[in-house]
Amino acid sequence: MAENPKEVKNFRDLGVCEQLVDACESRGWVVPSKIQAEAIPHALEGRDVIGLAETGSGKTGAFALPIIQALLEKPQPFFACVLSPTRELALQISDEFTALGAGIGLKSVALFGGVSMSDQQISIAKRPHILVATPGRLFDHLSNTKGFNLNMLKFLVLDEADRLLSMEFEKVIDDILKVLPRDRRTFLFSATMTKKVGKLQRACLKNPVKVEASAKYSTVDTCEQKFRLVPAKHKDCYLVYILTKMTGCTSMVFTRTCETTRILALQLRELGFKAIPISGQMTQQKRLGALNIFKAGQADILVCTDVASRGLDIPSVDLVINYDIPSNSKDYFHRIGRTARAGRSGIAVSLVNQYDAEWYLQIEKLLNKKLPEFDSKEEEVLMLSESVSEAKRRAIMAAKESSGNKRRRKGGDDDGDEDGETYANYQKKSNSFKKKSRR
């Protein structure tokens, strides 16, 4: 989370009341995030606020705390309504309100499509203080739920306004705005300031103050970032090609699933690379074992899930390969932060196939630039095809055999599995399998 700029040390400094300072502390929030430090004082002064901030920046707190503080002064049902583009986000925001308002009996309800209207009507009948809703479902209730209106509403929040609008909620948002009281406060949060967001801002905010959490995600200039478009079926060939081109580098290869780390590490070993897997499926002890092997230089390729993109004490590497593009763009920044540390240079290459192009575009959006393509000669890549497929076949068989052995050792410890803590152990098993399968 971005640090706040003015060295604001606590929520009290921002004007947050004691009850809510305590609520923040019980959530583990001690120091306000940048967007909180920027937005909360203006919001508490009674201004409308436009916040440019991403999910993950602490923006929910930035609008929830001023709303709850105002509610404490004049409690009433249907005090605030937050519009969110997705049900997941609506639930998350509603939970945050409930958690922050736990000590004051705050009631928050999330309304979204895909579930029964009647259950939600019961929740609405309990007259919650806060509604967090996706626009379509809110409008359904405003049109069809007897006795329900938002005539007393004091605060409206448009969260992720850019997404709200790009998802063609424009018309329904217009319809909702028409039935909300004009005498209210409005907060608009958006990751980017698009034209549509600007239009919405003019339509529903009064003399707003604009605050921004500076780019939460950044990459260092010494990290050369590239991508390579690859057909999914040749992804392994491209990986091997890049690793071969970059011989002598220490590398981390990021995959999406634990199972892929295991198979891919075995496959790379079949091809003569010194690769070792690390994933969340391994015990802490085994992860540390694999890490030590990597740190000691006995393996120079760490095949990992995002478990290794943060939190673990891994030395800087020369090369990061995104074998799978992360579905959560934040992880991209954590991953490539593993290279080009402390002024050193590094390369990050993302393998983008037809299925994860969308996620890659999302990353480019956050980077705010187009990355150059990693140069490769297709004929050379495809020449690897046969050996790479054969290695994969063997890797899958080895993984199956090892799982079978584990099952047979039922009840015993599994120290000797392929994630084992000594490289010699790992090497021995993989070699013995190689011999067997080639017989």
Residues of the shown chain interacting with ligand AMP in the complex, contacts defined by CB under 6 A:
1, 27, 29, 31-33, 36, 55-61
Shortest Cβ distance from residue 425 to ligand AMP (Å)? 39
Inter-residue contact 227 to 235 (CB < 8 Å): no
Closer by beta carbon to ligand AMP, 1 or else 167: 1
For residue 14, give the DSSP letter.
Answer: G
CB 89 within 8 A of CB 247: no
Q: Quick one: 57 or 251, whose CB is closer to ligand AMP? A: 57
Instruction: Give residues with Cβ within 8 angstroms of 246, minimum separation 6.
Output: 318, 319, 347
**Which is nearer to ligand AMP, 23 or 299 (by Cβ)?**
23
Least separation, in Å, of the C-beta of 210 and ligand AMP? 18
Q: Nearest distance from residue 2's CB to ligand AMP, in Å?
A: 10
- B/e letters for 214-250, b = 16+ CB within 10 Å, e = fewer, are eebbebeeebbbebbebeeebbbbbbbbbbeeeeebb
Residue closer to ligand AMP, measured from CB, 88 or 373? 88
| Residue whose C-alpha is closest to residue 69's, from 131, 6, 22, 127 | 22
Question: Is residue 250 within 8 Å of residue 319, measured between CB atoms?
Answer: yes
CA dihedral (246, 252, 257, 261) positive or negative: positive
Tokens representing 149 are 């209106």
Reported as type and span, the H/E element at residue 158 is strand 155-158
- The nearer residue to ligand AMP, 36 or 430, going by C-beta atoms, is 36
- Give the residue with the Cβ less far from ligand AMP, 59 or 394: 59
CA distance 251 to 221: 19
Runs of H (alpha helix) within 321-384: 329-336, 357-367, 378-383
Which lies closer to ligand AMP via its Cβ, residue 14 or residue 293? Answer: 14
In the complex, the smallest distance separating the C-beta of residue 246 from ligand AMP, rounded to whole angstroms, is 36
* Cα 66 from Cα 62, distance rounded (Å): 7
Q: How far is the CB of 46 from ligand AMP (least distance, A)?
A: 22
Closest approach of Cβ 251 to ligand AMP, in Å?
Answer: 31
- Tell me whether residue 60 or residue 108 sits nearer to ligand AMP (CB atom): 60
Instruction: Give the shortest CB-137-to-ligand AMP separation in angstroms.
Output: 21
- For the bound state, the minimum distance from the C-beta of residue 389 to ligand AMP, rounded and expressed in Å, comes to 43
